[in-house]
Amino acid sequence: MGSRSSHAAKIPDVDSIRRETGFSQASLLRLYHRFRALDRTGKGYLSRLDLQQIEALAVNPLGDRIIDSFFPDGSLRLDFPGFVRVLAHFRPVDEEEDGNRDPKEPEPLNSRMNKLRFAFQLYDLDRDGKISRHEMLQVLRLMVGVQVTEEQLESIADRTVQEADEDGDGAVSFLEFTKSLEKMNIEQKMSIRILK
């Protein structure tokens, strides 16, 4: 009978990926099987179309934005390490592990700050480092659809930007975004069912 470690040997650079993402070997093995299942044609990488097969993303109003995060810089192919790096943002923070972290090591992908960076980029549609009123309005439209009038959406976008915009430039910077979410439990907000 094959052991988990022998199956994990099939995963390229498994030890490096495990260190970088914090996923256990068992979790990486499940993710690898999920990756291969999504790659129905066996090409060794995923495309946007492959990710659109994930029901949780297909019904999520921000699904396209989340899928975009898997393809930074306009790339068309997603390899397994890239797939796992993005998913690592959704991994719960291990408080014990976080307290024992070597300060010389890079911040874990699932740290609160990296989770906030990930969430910020879902709103920063033009990737200029700020969330404008227009971008906020676009994301709100995606999230609520036709359940709210355009006037109500504009009011919500205006109020949200005004409350977070500390420097008065009419947009929300990453720092302003993090300050406005200081008390929010980001762990509850960043959950996604990819393994299903």
pLDDT tens-place string over residues 62-110: 888 899 999 987 889 999 999 999 999 888 876 555 556 677 777 888 8
Same fold for the domain at 13-89 and the one at 112-188?
Answer: yes
Q: For the residues 109-134, what does the mean pLDDT come to?
A: 91
Q: What pLDDT does residue 193 have? A: 47
Q: What pLDDT does residue 43 have? A: 94
* pLDDT at residue 192 greater than cutoff 80: no
Confidence class of residue 134 from pLDDT cuts 50, 70 and 90? very high
Query: 20-69 pLDDT, tens per residue?
Result: 898 999 999 999 999 999 999 999 999 999 999 899 888 888 888 899 99
Distances (CA, A) of 82 to 72, 78, 194: 10, 6, 14
- Distance between first and last Cα of the chain: 25
For residue 50, how far is the Cα from the chain centroid? 17
Q: What pLDDT does residue 190 have? A: 52
Architecture (CATH level 2) of domain 112-188: Orthogonal Bundle (1.10)
Break the chain into its structural domains and give their ranges. Answer: 13-89, 112-188
Domain 13-89 -> CATH class: mainly alpha
Backbone phi and psi for residue 172, each to the nearest 5 degrees, phi listed first: -110, 115
What percent of the chain is modeled with pLDDT above 70?
Answer: 84
Q: What pLDDT does residue 44 have? A: 93
